[in-house]
Amino acid sequence: MALLPIITVPDPRLLTASTPVEAVDDALRQTLDDMLETMYAAPGIGLAAIQVGIAKRMLVMDVAREGEERDPLFIINPEVIWVSDDDQSYEEGCLSLPEHYAEVVRPAEIKIKYLTRDGAPAELHATGLKAICLQHEMDHLDGILFVDHISALKRNMILRKLVKAKRLQEANV
Ligand code: GNR
Ligand code: NI
């Protein structure tokens, strides 16, 4: 197990679409396990591979609350097969846009098909926070960030602050 460095805005890799996983093998499972450990350590409730610089269509999630039993999910090559008509709004954050939050509206429920950590096909009907997190992570696979769902004014304010913060951080190492 290993902790992987999480990349942050403005890194061009976060804006690129990831490519499908071709083989679910032991090396891939090792990467998924490292991603899960990295996500728990952050701490976060989800992590897409591109956030650790790996441009593959896979993600890990665990929306169990503190004190609840861990409930890790490993999702490979997800595809949306149904979305609800009704929406829900939630104040989202992202490990790749540290310390910034904004209200995002998304479909309240989705169904996806995907491959499990064992490479088996599966389906998932997600609601509540699980549906929010899953859509946030699936966006990462297409180079989309939560700020792409808010007004240009709010988005540019957040992006400018992150550019500035990274510049200061790099000047102070
Ligand atoms: O840890 C995370 N919390 C979160 C809160 C609201 C909506 C989405 C998320 S996902 C985020 C971790 C992350 O950046 N995943 O890509
Ligand atoms: Ni994110």
Would you tell me which CATH number, out of the four given (3.40.50.150, 3.40.50.300, 3.90.45.10, 2.60.120.380), belongs to the domain 12-171?
A: 3.90.45.10
Instruction: Reply yes or no on whether the pLDDT at 1 is more than 90.
Output: no
Top mutation candidate among 95, 135, 141 for ligand 1, by most atoms within 8 Å of CB: 95
- Spatial distance between the Cα atoms of 164 and 169, rounded to a whole number of angstroms: 9
The pLDDT tens digits for 108-128 are: 999 999 999 999 999 999 999
97 close to 147: Cβ distance less than 8 angstroms: yes
Instruction: Pick the closest to residue 60 from 83, 88, 38, 93 (CA basis).
Output: 38
What spacing in Å lies between the alpha carbon of 93 and ligand 1's midpoint? 5
4 close to 34: Cβ distance less than 8 angstroms: yes
Query: Is the beta carbon of 102 within 6 A of some atom in ligand 1?
Result: no
What spacing in Å lies between the alpha carbon of 123 and ligand 2's midpoint? 22
Query: What is the model's pTM?
Result: 0.98
Indicate the pLDDT class of residue 16, thresholds 50, 70 and 90: very high
Please report the DSSP string for 94-134 in residue order: -TTSTT--EEEEEESEEEEEEE-TTS-EEEEEEEHHHHHHH
The pLDDT tens digits for 125-162 are: 999 999 999 999 999 999 999 999 999 999 999 999 99
